Amino acid sequence: MRRLEGKRIAVTGAAGGLGTPLVRLLRERGAYVIGIDRVGCATCDENIVTDLSNDHALAALAQTLARDTPDVLVNLAGVMRFGLHEDQPSDALDLCYRVNLYVPALLAQAVSAPMRGRGDGQIVNIGSVLGAIPYPWFAAYSSSKAGLAALSQSLRRELMGSGVAVTHVNPRAAKTPLNNSEVNRFLDIARMKADEPETVARRIVEAIVRRRETVTIGWRERLYTIVNTVAPRLIDSGIAPQIRRARAEFC
């Protein structure tokens, strides 16, 4: 795990519920961590306080990362949207797609050429199992994370042989403030497991160290991802009881 000694790692969402243990674990392994968030990260070595929802701030951040490119970029910041798609305000949808997909795409674009030019680097995109197994009531979140998976795979193929690795990690639900009371209620109804942030952070660090291509947390989730790809109607049937219970609660 000491492979990260001296590595400069930039992490978006560093001050959040998952970012906090991730930063700590990265620093324990010798990394110099640059936190990127709306507020300062107390445990980071350096902070870039910015608003990823602001066009000018995002452009400035991209220029900074292109000019002073870290060894590793971790796109962790995310926005959750829960509820019927028809009820989602347009500005909420815009923010969800922006932070979950557009921001990682733009920041990856900023660092790709400098990393490729020096023949080394790593782009780490934190997706979600819900991007691989799209769920009702999470339409925007699921589709934005599915797009992030496609972005990661496309970039990996573009950068193949350049010395730049692209890692995509799919956590399942984690016990963080990203989940509001309705989301937590849905997890209970659907009997979906939520992991401790520390557990998820450890898997992300492992994926970074090993330069893994794709990591999906949970053996059932890995199996369901495969089934959803080849036989999605089986997933439809399997989650039908969960949907009925959720409709009784939320509709």
What tens digit of pLDDT does each residue of 89-121 get? 999 999 999 999 999 999 999 999 999 999 999
Residue 111 CB partners (closer than 8 Å, separation 6+): 65, 66, 69, 70, 73, 121, 123
The larger pLDDT score, comparing residue 243 to residue 203, is at 203
Closest C-alpha among 24, 64, 66, 63 to residue 45: 24
In the chain, what are the domains? 2-250 (3.40.50.720)
The conformation of residue 20, written as its DSSP 8-state character, comes to H
CA-derived radius of gyration, the chain: 18
**pTM score:** 0.94
Q: What distance in Å separates the CA atoms of residue 72 and residue 244, rounded to the nearest whole number?
A: 43
pLDDT over 50 (residue 165)? yes
Half-sphere exposure at residue 132, Cβ-oriented, CA atoms within 13 angstroms: 25
- Contact of 148 with 104, CB cutoff 8 Å: yes
Q: Within 13 A of 2's CA, how many CA atoms are on the CB side?
A: 0
